[in-house]
Structure formats: C-alpha cells, structure tokens
Homo-oligomer: A and B are copies of this chain.
C-alpha cells in the first residue's frame, strides 16, 4: 500500500510563486551566489512584473531563509554562517529520519521505481556540473519527503534542504558525489525491505557525512562576513554601545 493517499501540494500559479520558484532554483544552482544583490526593480523588470510582485516574492523567500531582507536595504541572497549551516544540517537529519521512519515498508513498487529512476538520473548527471548534481541529490530527498504525503513535512524538509544546498555552495570544496549516490541506493533498499531502524541510521549517516564533507571546518576566512567573525567579541561589550571600528569593509 502507498504511504498515504495522494493529494496535490504544488505551489499555485501566481506570478509571485513563479518568481519564487525561479529565484529558488537560481539560488540553489548557484547562478546567484550568496550575497548577490536582488533589487526589486531589477527583478520586476527581468520577470516582467511590477515591483510589488517582486517585493512579495522576496518576502516569501526571506521567510524560507533563502534571502536576507533588511529595512531600506537591497535584498541579498542569504549568507548563512558556518554555525547556521551546521544547525541546518542537524535539523535536517532529524526531519529526514522522521521521513524514512514513516516510509519504511510502506512504499509501493511504483514509488520504489520512481526513486530508483531518480537515482539513475543522478548517476547520468555525474559528468555534468557540480551544481546540477547537488540539485538532483537535494531533489531526491524532497521526493522522499513528498511520499510521506505530509504537506508540513514536505515544506520543512524542502526548506531546510534548500538552505543546506545554499551552504554547500558557500563552504564546500568540490566534492565527489559518488558515495552520496550509493548511499541513496542503500536507503532505497532499506526502505523497500522495511527496516525502519536501519534506514534511519543510514539516513543519519548519509546526511552527517555530506555535512562533514562539505562543512570542512569553521574556516573563518572563507566567505564569512566580517561582522559575524567579530560578533562574539562585540557581545562582550554593552549591547547598546557598539564598538567603533575604523570603517568596516563589508563584502560588496
């Protein structure tokens, strides 16, 4: 029997949603790097909509954590700190353990075939760019979440997976995706077999190793924002009076 009865969860076809999807994809494929500016005007013009719509889309993406919004400032693609990246992975591990726990032994043959087909696609994409491989790997996890047919779970897994994607582009060294693909296959096998404990363990290990491979170390030099680095020092000052520094250069 299928994990649950099917139901639609796709986003509506508002102009706002269209822009959200486009930006989301651009971000996770690293066409837009973390820190990239996203002026409302430019987005509106690019997508043929008014600034109102672009603004609304940015609001949605900010709610998902993909975009940072500060009052009266240009929106930028989010630049998670190393710690936030690690936190995201920790949350992701728990959520996806829940996913596979619900799914173990409950998948139809068709669903298993769909999963295998996806991993095949990942395999074929191994020659391509890293960005595509990462996107496909992420989509595998989202596909799993969809099969639980819990819209809330889908939403959270998707969001946190996208965030992880984002951090991979920030902190990851060019990494081989082969073992990840094998781990995907192992997860499918354990799901089919119905061994919940085993598949939870597999998923945990899989995500943990992806995180460890990517988040090499708290390398404060690489892509970190100066203010983040100084934050712990500033915290020791009375929070109102900010330390006066000789012109802090923020990354453009």
Contact = CB atoms under 8 A, between A and B. Distances in A.
Interface of A: 5-7, 12-14, 16, 52, 55-56, 59-60, 63-65, 70-71, 83-84, 87-88, 90-91, 94-95, 97-98, 150-153, 155-156, 160, 163, 231-232, 235
Contact of A152 (B70, B97, B163): B163
Given A87-B150, A88-B152, A152-B65, A14 B71 contact: yes
Given A65-B155, A91-B95, A94-B94, 12 more contacts: A5-B232, A7-B231, A14-B71, A16-B59, A56-B56, A83-B150, A84-B151, A87-B152, A91-B152, A94-B98, A152-B160, A152-B163
Contacts of A94: 94-95, 97-98
> Max chain B CB contacts within 10 Å: which of A12, A64, A91?
A91
Contact of A64 (B6, B14, B63, B91): B63
Contacts of A63: 60, 63-64
Nearest to A84: B152
A150 B84 contact: yes
14 contacts: A5-B231, A6-B235, A14-B71, A56-B56, A59-B60, A60-B60, A63-B63, A63-B64, A87-B150, A88-B152, A91-B153, A94-B94, A152-B160, A156-B160
Contacts of A14: 71
A22 B172 CA distance: 41
Given A63-B60, A98-B91, A235-B7, A156 B156 contact: yes
A50 B56 CA distance: 15
Contacts of A70: 12
B87 A153 contact: yes
